[in-house]
Copies of this chain bind each other. A is one copy, B any other.
Amino acid sequence: MTATIYIQPGAVLNANGVCRFRVWAPLRNKVSLLLPEQNVTHEMQRDADGYWSVTLPNIKAGTLYYYILDDEGKRPDPASRHQPEGVHGPSAVTDPNDFTFTDDQWKGMDLEQMIIYELHTGTFSPEGTLQGIISRLPALQELGITAIEIMPVAQFPGSRNWGYDGVYPFALQNSYGSINDLKKLVDAAHNMGIAVILDVVYNHQGPEGNYFNDYGPYFTDKYKTPWGQAINYDDAWSDGVRSFYIANALMWLDEFHIDGLRLDAVHAYWDSSALHFVQELTTAVHELEQRCGKKKILIGELDLNNPRYITPVANGGYGLQGQWIDEFHHALHSHLTGETNGYYEDFGKLELLARSYADAYVYTGQYSAHRKRKFGLAPEHLPYSQFVAFIQNHDQVGNRMLGERLSTLVPFEALKLAAAALLLSPFVPLLFMGEEYGEKNPFPFFASFEDPELVSAVREGRKKEFAAFHAAGEAPDPMAPGTFDAAKLSWDTKTPENATLLACYRYLIGLRKTRPALKYHERNGSKVHPVINERLLV
């Protein structure tokens, strides 16, 4: 069960069919529960913290419900566990105890043991479902992967989305399968020695099906974000918002046996509180770890080059175990491709890759031409094993206009070099699905919004974004089903080049696991000798 210190919102059904419905709406005068199948309404009681609740007997899993706020009309539950008809339809009660895990022996995994494989449920397999992942776990195991990282699965509008437009953080995307499918996936992975990391979005909510503002001050106008309203982590009423997201993290880690969370865009968690939200979150997760006796990790996507986020709480930090280092990617990518547009203007020189090998961050206080300011601090005293590196990921591939993978941008030999640069690095390596055999299908941005205004705004926005980034060519229509279909993995591992590259990844991963020198992540364990003019790092 999830931690009791954070109130679990939503419909919580117990084994006797008693269900407690609980929703945070601190500024509402009246909140009722509507059960549309029975056409009955139940008044709810408010507590001092602004949570409204009602407990009812004889509720079955699958029961549909809405809340009615001040008689203004029905709304789905922001903490819904299931949206069978999508983001605009009713919420549904689920049974958290309807699955029996068989992974008692699994104790979790340290970040430094991980060789991570990032995948997108909808395009990873032909089926585009969680079942499609389960059936391909053996292939990943054979490759040597020790952890999969699943792009966000929170309910989003329609059936095609990277996942960052989710609007029901507690609900599993209805087109990906059932709650039990995700539990089966985790259980199967654990029984194969594979950890499961889930990508979660706590920095914004998606634009469609977003009913949060009807419920309460989930957002604040104090700060700006590129993706709409900032989450209210430090303004009036923020306790309820913080508790909501922490309860969400604990749900995935506890009920679903997920081993770790990848926190999207932690730099956009605006919080001026003395107790930073990240620190409250890491503390809560640490308490869960103590209670359940299994390792749980938190990894941030973080564009601040600020070591404080990954410094232990005891040393004045916020306590994340790890963070992504995009700069390692940028340094390697711009050097291999010669690209210097957009944020690559800060990279391109081999010496910057050497700096990443030495310091993890490339910018540790130097002037960044792209940011037009000095940027970053050196993460001294933090081991290399706190940094997740990659030569591709969903963003670095997908935020290109055409979504091209590295396999279509550089010669084949360079792919092997890049694989070695990653897998023999002191960092925790992350592969993007298909990278291991040189997948050539693109991974462009796609979505399936239903609101016509939003659809056209997104189309225009993408065009505008790429007007500056790329010189020529037309962006694929993000709303077209064909754009999504084209992103599906081919699983073409038989062509000579693909087979060779796959063998190369297997070899390098094997080498990484067996050579002690490659498992040593302390700072003093490696030295970088850039021989700049000869394009060589030793």
Contacts and interface: CB of A to CB of B under 8 A. Distances in A.
Interface in A304-359: 304-308, 311, 315-317
A305 B367 contact: no
Contacts of A224: 221-223
Interface string A229-244: 0000011111100000
Interface stretch (A28-36, A250-258, A371-379, A495-503): A371-379
Given A224-B221, A272-B267, A373 B308 contact: no
Classify the secondary structure of A's interface with B.
loop
A437 to B, nearest CB: 38
A22 B307 CA distance: 35
A377 B274 CA distance: 6
Contacts of A267: 272
Interface string A278-314: 0000000000000000000000000011111001000
A275 interface: yes
A274 to B, nearest CB: 4
Contacts of A311: 316
B304 A308 contact: no
Interface string A200-236: 0000000000000000000001111000000000111
Nearest to A267: B272
Contact of A272 (B237, B304, B315): B304
A461 interface: no
Nearest to A224: B222
A308 B239 contact: no
A310 to B, nearest CB: 12
16 contacts: A222-B223, A222-B224, A223-B223, A234-B373, A235-B373, A236-B373, A237-B372, A239-B374, A267-B272, A274-B305, A274-B306, A274-B307, A274-B308, A274-B376, A275-B374, A315-B316
